[in-house]
């Protein structure tokens, strides 16, 4: 059964963040708020956790997961950012964007696109998420908390806990964070491609 954490959205309780980080380090899968909607997350090396996320979402290993990073420096450890788009991405982070870029050797092959060798990365503009990422010191492998057969992501922490408590190790509730997913931009080709229009303004990349 998941542990339920009621966390202040502007001033996250340090003790709660430390406890959640401990659960994640111990192999846990969590539901947590972001600046676009709730997400499922675990650590990069947690193979079992990644499979649990896919099972909750009802997707197979062809469904791409995202690396949620604390800052631009951390993002740069896991993807190659070409000089031509460096400023554009840096100016848009943190924010409600997911960028698809060529993965570095730090990303396990099972998480990369099999043909393109890419991975989606993002830096959320959310106080609670940032506090957790800072405590962990490494990114979270994540997926939007959208259940099979549903059109919209889940938005309420208490509801997530009631419905998915048996499948998770922790639920972080800091209030409603909306239902609109990130804007996804693919930078793996010569020209940027807007794969999905969402919470982030895509005009800077068009």
Look at residue 87 and tell me if it is in a domain: yes
State mean pLDDT over 130-154: 95
Residues 6+ apart with CB under 8 A from 21: 132, 135, 136
Q: Strands 30-32 and 170-173, how do they pair?
A: parallel
pLDDT band at 131 (very low <50, low <70, confident <90, very high): very high
State mean pLDDT over 160-170: 96
| pLDDT tens, position by position, 196-206 | 999 999 988 88
User: How many domains does the chain divide into?
Assistant: 1
pLDDT computed for residue 204 by the predictor: 84
pLDDT band at 155 (very low <50, low <70, confident <90, very high): confident
pLDDT band at 84 (very low <50, low <70, confident <90, very high): confident
Res 112 pLDDT > 90: yes
Look at residue 193 and tell me if it is in a domain: yes
pLDDT computed for residue 138 by the predictor: 97
Look at residue 165 and tell me if it is in a domain: yes
Q: Strands 66-68 and 118-122, how do they pair?
A: parallel
Look at residue 93 and tell me if it is in a domain: yes
Look at residue 34 and tell me if it is in a domain: yes
| pLDDT tens, position by position, 25-61 | 999 999 999 999 999 999 999 999 999 999 999 999 8
pLDDT computed for residue 152 by the predictor: 86
Res 178 pLDDT > 90: no
State mean pLDDT over 106-131: 95
Look at residue 206 and tell me if it is in a domain: no
What are the start-end ranges of the E strands in the chain? 3-6, 30-32, 39-43, 66-68, 97-102, 118-122, 140-144, 170-173, 183-186, 193-196
Res 190 pLDDT > 90: no
Look at residue 167 and tell me if it is in a domain: yes
Domain holding 47, by residue range, is: 3-201
CATH number at residue 98: 3.90.870.10
Whole-angstrom Cα distance, residue 98 to residue 174? Answer: 22
pLDDT computed for residue 3 by the predictor: 97
Whole-angstrom Cα distance, residue 4 to residue 67? Answer: 24
Res 179 pLDDT > 90: no
**Bridge partner residues of 97 (DSSP):** 183
pLDDT band at 154 (very low <50, low <70, confident <90, very high): confident
Look at residue 195 and tell me if it is in a domain: yes
């Amino acid at each position: 059964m998941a542990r339920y954490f009621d966390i202040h959205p502007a001033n996250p309780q340090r003790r709660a963040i430390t406890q959640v980080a401990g659960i994640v380090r111990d192999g846990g899968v969590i539901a947590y708020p972001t600046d676009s909607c709730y997400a499922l997350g675990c650590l990069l090396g947690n193979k079992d956790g990644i499979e649990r996320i896919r099972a909750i979402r009802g997707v197979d290993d062809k469904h791409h997961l995202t690396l949620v990073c604390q800052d631009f420096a951390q993002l740069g450890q896991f993807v190659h950012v070409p000089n031509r788009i460096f400023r554009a991405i840096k100016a848009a982070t943190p924010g409600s964007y997911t960028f698809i870029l060529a993965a570095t050797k730090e990303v396990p092959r099972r998480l990369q696109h099999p043909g393109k060798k890419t991975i989606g990365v993002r830096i959320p503009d959310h106080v609670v998420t940032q506090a957790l990422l800072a405590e962990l010191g490494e990114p979270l492998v994540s997926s939007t908390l959208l259940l099979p057969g549903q059109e919209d992501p889940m938005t309420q922490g208490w509801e997530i806990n009631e419905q998915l408590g048996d499948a998770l190790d922790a639920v972080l509730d800091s209030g409603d964070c909306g239902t609109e997913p990130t804007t996804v931009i693919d930078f793996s080709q010569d020209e940027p491609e807007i794969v999905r229009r969402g919470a982030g303004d895509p005009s800077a990349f068009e």
